[in-house]
Chains A and B, each alone.
Chain A
């Protein structure tokens, strides 16, 4: 079971992605303003998309 949170809000994800970066692109969130944590650990967005666990996307500035 995979859970995705964006700025603390739960987001339902139905597709499978190759990388976390692909998800960011679909959400139109630039890598330049988003930190990604997988199971609480900071992770480059270029890493493979996890099958389960928790992904947190934290925007550090808004509107970018």
Chain B
């Protein structure tokens, strides 16, 4: 049995990309990967000339690859690029990630803005995990991260927030919304939030874009390894949603047996949106009674959670 060769040259393959149908050497994989990400950015009209895009940097591989590629895109498209890192207050976990994020921004000459839960909300996730009885730390972390990233982006006058969501994340979120019977949340999923079926509340948030939306996690990791970007694979000590973990395992098993499963799940949602062409115009926009930010109920999710502490 011979070793697998690159599709484009006579070198030995390093990875089989594209649902394991296209073997590439490292050089041709890099070309394939970059081309596909830039195509996705164009297809979903993610970035326009002159805009200010802030990357939500975590220090992990996905957001690092996102930042690295947007920097590369600046060679062809003039736009402003910054990075934001949020410190949730998780000892030992964030410190390392912050160091990596800082190094990367320095190397790429990108301005990095730092925001912390402690300064904004007077809490840390370490602390919440000790005192909160009603909700787990991940509930607080998810809601507060989303709000703080939005707030931070507005503060630095960014037009858009880019995050490192990859194809695996998206396929998992689609399945999770099916399992939880959340059709509205399902239809909101889009690599460019402007194009998702948004509620009026959603429209008040800064536009979110996912340049890696079509790239499987393993390809993002391969690119990060080749480009010597952060390979910070440490998981959050509070672990994350147990159900997402199960869905991830299930999807990976399916993908091993039926390559292309994740792509088809993503396409299913895109096709569903086309068929429905729904407009969610009916949700009334309210303002949070406590902080005045957009909310679906009297209090926004953040103020509601904080009120339980």
Interface residues of A (CB under 8 A from B): 18-19, 30-35, 41-44, 46-48, 58-64
With A31-B256, A48-B1, A63-B245 in contact, is A43–B217 under 8 Å at CB?
A: no
> Is the CB–CB distance between B225 and A64 below 8 Å?
no
Query: In the assembly, what is the distance between CA of A63 and CA of B233, in Å?
Result: 12
Binds A, one of B9-17, B33-41, B206-214: B9-17
Instruction: Answer whether residue B177 sits at the interface, using C-beta atoms and an 8 A cutoff.
Output: no
Residues of B within 8 A of A47 (CB): 3-4, 13
Partner of B4, one of A18, A41, A46, A62: A46
Q: Please classify how large the interface on chain B is, using the bins under 10, 10 to 19, 20 to 34, 35 or more.
A: 20 to 34
Interface segment, one of B84-92, B190-198, B247-255, B301-309? B247-255
Of A32, A42, A43, A59, the contact of B225 (CB 8 Å cutoff): A42
Q: Which residues of A contact B245 (CB under 8 A)?
A: 63-64
Indicate whether A33 sits within 8 Å of B217 (C-beta atoms), given known contacts A42-B226, A47-B4, A64-B248: yes
A62 touches B235 (CB 8 A): yes
B222 interface hit (Cβ, 8 Å): yes
Contact B16–A61 (Cβ < 8 Å):
no
Q: How far is the CB of B177 from chain A (nearest CB, A)?
A: 19
B222 touches A35 (CB 8 A): yes
B250 → chain A, closest Cβ, in Å? 10
Given contacts A48-B3, A64-B249, 12 further A-B contacts (CB under 8 A): A30-B252, A31-B20, A31-B218, A32-B218, A32-B251, A43-B3, A48-B2, A61-B235, A62-B233, A63-B249, A64-B245, A64-B248
